[in-house]
Amino acid sequence: MVKYISKRLLVSIPVIIGITILSFIIMKLSPGDPLANFINPSINMEDLEKSRQALGLNDPLHIQYVKWIGQVIRGNFGYTYSGNHSIGNLILERLPNTVILTLSAFILSFVVGIPLGVIGAVRKNTRIDYGITLMSLVGVAIPSFFFGLLVIYVFALLLGIFPSGGMENIRAGFTGFAYYMDILHHLVLPALVLSLGNIASVSRFTRSNMLDILKEDYIRTAKAKGLRNKAIIYRHALRNALIPVVTIFGLSIPFLFSGAYITESIFNWPGMGQLGIRAIQDREYGIIMALNLITATLVLAGNLVSDILYAIVDPRIRH
Partner 1 sequence: MNTILEVKDLSVQFRTEEGSFHAIEHVSFSVQEQKTLAIVGESGSGKSVTSLAIMQLIAENGNITGGEIFIDGQDILKLSRKQVQHSILGKKISMIFQEPMTALNPVIRIGEQITESILEHQQVSKQEARKIALDTLKQVGIPSPEQRMKQYPHQLSGGMRQRVMIAMGLVTKPKIMIADEPTTALDVTIEAQILNLLEELKRTYKTSILFVTHDLNIVADIADDVLVMYCGEVIEKGPVVDIFEHPRHPYTKGLLATMPSLDQDEKVLPTIKGSVPNISKRPQGCHFHPRCEHATDQCRTTKPQTYQVGLQTVQCFLYAPKKESSNA
SS3 117: helix
Question: Please, what is the minimum distance in Å from the beta carbon of residue 304 to partner 1?
Answer: 22
Q: Tell me if 316 contacts partner 1 by CB under 8 A.
A: yes
Q: Tell me if 122 contacts partner 1 by CB under 8 A.
A: no
Q: Tell me if 234 contacts partner 1 by CB under 8 A.
A: no
Q: Tell me if 228 contacts partner 1 by CB under 8 A.
A: yes
Burial label for 14, CB within 10 Å (0-12, 13-18, 19+), is exposed
Q: Tell me if 46 contacts partner 1 by CB under 8 A.
A: no
Positions 72 through 111 that interact with partner 1 (CB under 8 A): none
Side-chain-side CA neighbours of residue 130 (13 Å): 3
Judge whether 195 and 109 are in contact, CB under 8 Å: yes
Q: Which of 7, 67, 220, 278 binds partner 1 (CB under 8 A)?
A: 220
Q: Tell me if 224 contacts partner 1 by CB under 8 A.
A: yes
- Rounded to a whole number of angstroms, the distance between the first and last alpha carbons of the chain is 10
Question: Please, what is the minimum distance in Å from the beta carbon of residue 308 to partner 1?
Answer: 17
Judge whether 12 and 3 are in contact, CB under 8 Å: no
Judge whether 186 and 210 are in contact, CB under 8 Å: no
CB-based contacts of 295, cutoff 8 Å, min separation 6: 254, 257, 258
Site string for partner 1, 236-275 (x = CB under 8 A): x--xx--x--------------------------------
Q: Tell me if 5 contacts partner 1 by CB under 8 A.
A: no
Of residues 237 and 266, the one with the C-beta less far from partner 1: 237
Judge whether 102 and 257 are in contact, CB under 8 Å: yes
Of residues 149 and 227, the one with the C-beta less far from partner 1: 227
Interface residues with partner 1 (CB under 8 A) are: 216-218, 220-229, 231, 235-236, 239-240, 243, 313-316, 319
